Chain A
């Protein structure tokens, strides 16, 4: 079973993602409310997949991706953000994200993306 870390500053979005993932056989091993927590929890939990929001307090998702990938170049991170601007998508992919999903999303879009990295 793939272990997933969810990073999003909104409790409702973390709950929505957790429900989608657990219904599809993923184990959510941790939740982070900002980029700093995402980096710490990645080190602590060593998840096989991460869903990462961009607009978060303290440290945004793109900075968190850079730090995680610096320590683990094999990290599999999928961005899940309402900010779907071309420049930001390119910035996130350059930082090391494997995919970019724009909110609001259909559950299938999340699962189809994560399946590619199992």
Chain B
């Protein structure tokens, strides 16, 4: 574990609240897309874990998932990963195409990419409002594969070389359309410190 990644309980609370408000905003967007279906959100989980353990947070390395990945660039830099089980992704495609598509065809993949884009952007909109600073987002990339393979590729693409990463995971679920998933925020380097600093708090050295 790297010393500069150490985090105290106050900072964990800040990140939890950011996860809460950010995904709260994102689930409003998702709910509007799903014709106002109620979306249940869990308390955000802030963890400092080894890269190898990350797939376990989403059901294990062999779980088939759909992931939409992008990078946020602003006062702080971090990665946004919108992840859901394959079954939930298929249910979203079915719901948003009104039953016309139920597979990962090119239109189906485009649906998931756009949902991931809107959810990630909604998170950034909330963060921008809270910190009074602007964030840009790279065009999201969609991958459908086993969780371990996808996360490994994302961490390689993101050039994450640390053994451990600090991440904020917020999970949600719906009943009518049977959809569950999560948004994972992986701060990049100084990203976390800057977010906490912007909110006027000193990060423990």
A interface residue numbers (CB < 8 A to B): 9-13, 15, 55-57, 60, 81-88, 102-104
Say yes or no: B121 contacts A55, CB within 8 Å.
yes
Q: A12-B107, A82-B121, A85-B125 are in contact. Are A56 and B33 (CB under 8 A)?
A: no
How many A-B pairs have beta carbons closer than 8 Å: the answer is: 64
Q: A11-B107, A12-B107, A12-B111 are in contact. Are A85 and B134 (CB under 8 A)?
A: yes
* Complexed CA–CA distance, A90 and B125 (Å): 14
Is there a chain A Cβ closer than 8 Å to B7's Cβ? no
Say yes or no: B113 contacts A85, CB within 8 Å.
no
B72-129 CB contacts (< 8 Å) to partner A: 96, 106-107, 110-111, 113-114, 117-118, 120-122, 124-125, 128-129
* Complexed CA–CA distance, A81 and B32 (Å): 15
Nearest Cβ on chain A to B134's Cβ, whole angstroms? 4
Q: A9-B139, A11-B107, A83-B137 are in contact. Are A55 and B128 (CB under 8 A)?
A: no
Closest residue of chain B to A14 (Cβ to Cβ) is B110
Say yes or no: A55 contacts B118, CB within 8 Å.
no
Interchain CB contact (< 8 A) of B135 among A12, A60, A81, A85: A85
* Complexed CA–CA distance, A12 and B139 (Å): 15
* Chain B 130-157 per-residue mask, 1 if CB under 8 angstroms from chain A, else 0: 0001111111100000000000000000
Interchain CB contact (< 8 A) of A82 among B29, B134, B136: B29
Interchain CB contact (< 8 A) of B122 among A56, A82, A88: A82
Closest residue of chain A to B97 (Cβ to Cβ) is A12
Nearest Cβ on chain A to B199's Cβ, whole angstroms? 17
* Complexed CA–CA distance, A83 and B125 (Å): 6
Q: A55-B117, A57-B139, A104-B118 are in contact. Are A84 and B125 (CB under 8 A)?
A: yes
* Complexed CA–CA distance, A24 and B199 (Å): 46
Say yes or no: B138 contacts A55, CB within 8 Å.
yes
Nearest Cβ on chain B to A114's Cβ, whole angstroms? 20
Nearest Cβ on chain B to A9's Cβ, whole angstroms? 6
Chain A CB within 10 A, most for which of B32, B138, B139: B139
Closest residue of chain B to A62 (Cβ to Cβ) is B136
A60: chain B residues within 8 A (beta carbon): 136
Say yes or no: A88 contacts B134, CB within 8 Å.
yes
Say yes or no: B128 contacts A87, CB within 8 Å.
yes
